Amino acid sequence: MSRPQAIEPGATLGILGSGQLGRMFAISARRLGYRVVVLSPDDDTPTGQVADVEMQADYLDLDRIAEFAQQVDVVSFEFENVPAATTEACEKFVPVRPAGQVLYISQNRFREKSYLRDAGLPVTPFHDLRSFEDLQAALLKTGGNGVLKTADWGYDGKGQVRIDAGTDPQSAWSQLNVPHAILEEFIDFQCELSVVGARGMDGELVTYGPMLNTHAHHILDVSIAPAPLPDRVLVEACDIARNVLERMNVVGVMCVEFFLTKNGQLLINETAPRPHNSGHLTIDAHVTCQFEQQVRAICGLPLGSNRQHRPAAMANLLGDVWFPNPPDWSAACALNDVKVHLYGKKEARKGRKMGHLTVLADSAEQAAQRVIAARNALQSQ
């Protein structure tokens, strides 16, 4: 197969969304010689601080979206909650990669899980809900337990309510207050893991991981790679992720998140059609990071090597670290194997992702111990 015409360095890349993922994408793009235009409703953003041009506009201001698209050679996005009308407006002028259809599937939990199930891929059991009566019927099937989630716009634990024997289902439904939701059945899992994949225009595909992930309050806390899991699990997770990217015809980067059940079965929890928090360790630990792969893939360039230099661990820095006192950066930087990444956000708030730390070591477990110690040192005052 001949390689498609590449968008060469010197061209201009557009990114929808202006948070930390866009920032790291822009840094990789500029290192490769591309210019970057970012559009979001905000200004002085993490991405805007390093982009060539920052456009402030609502995603449904389609005149401004058209103006944005006419300034760039290809468009990508850094989060799922970009309206379909926005990507459709961009596609009138330039390619959007991954395509708007991929975004359409991934940004709605019912569409996503239905697509995966119908493709024969292992997915967490779920029930479609359009009313409280649907919820009542679903709970009869699940034994009165499950996780009630909005179909649209949920991330980092937002838009979901756990239901068990002590929960009033009517109160849970009212709390969500949406016209469309799903009830996911409880999964008795031993761990959570993720695979980040990158797929080029010609079908070339590389994967990172799996990364073993631990969460705190529904937000990713620490990721380690390689994951200390049986080879069978590692191979199967990468195979499933490759299958997802190929079936969706992804051009760009996608993360596939899994539960590993107590009986050793892998179930897809969700997908994210862009770089992922668990893949941040690839910046320091791999020959080519997930953000450079995103640039290469959407521009039609050959993908880079996914070889890992050494075992690694990444720890998120939430705004909580800024309270009650500002972080002691000297204490963390005194540990000479710690890499500090900050996102340039103006205000620290509890639960807000402000940065991350990465450590490389002789084993993933050792890296995890050291990265947690470094984070603790930030609050040692």
For range 123-129, the mean pLDDT: 95
d(Cα 329, Cα 327) in Å, to the nearest integer?
A: 6
Which domains does the chain carry?
Answer: 12-96 (3.40.50.20), 125-184 (3.30.1490.20), 189-378 (3.30.470.20)
| pTM metric for this prediction | 0.95
Q: Which residues contact 232 (CB under 8 A, 6 or more apart)?
A: none
Give one DSSP letter per residue of 296-342, joined into a string. Answer: HHHTTPPPPP--BSS-EEEEEEEGGGGSSS---HHHHHTSTTEEEEE
For range 182-196, the mean pLDDT: 95
Evaluate if residue 154 carries a pLDDT over 90. no
Evaluate if residue 94 carries a pLDDT over 50. yes
For range 177-191, the mean pLDDT: 93
**pLDDT per residue over 213-253, tens digit each?**
999 988 999 999 999 999 999 999 999 999 999 999 999 99
d(Cα 349, Cα 354) in Å, to the nearest integer?
A: 9
d(Cα 374, Cα 202) in Å, to the nearest integer?
A: 42
Question: At which residue do the structure tokens 């862009």 appear?
Answer: 274
d(Cα 367, Cα 97) in Å, to the nearest integer?
A: 34
pLDDT at 157: 57
Q: Which residues contact 177 (CB under 8 A, 6 or more apart)?
A: none
**pLDDT per residue over 270-315, tens digit each?**
999 999 999 999 999 999 999 999 999 999 999 999 999 999 999 9
**Burial letters 252-261, b for 16+ CB under 10 A, else e:** bbbbbbbbbb
Evaluate if residue 103 carries a pLDDT over 80. yes
Res. 160 pLDDT band, cuts 50 70 90: confident
**Residue 67 structure tokens:** 């103006």
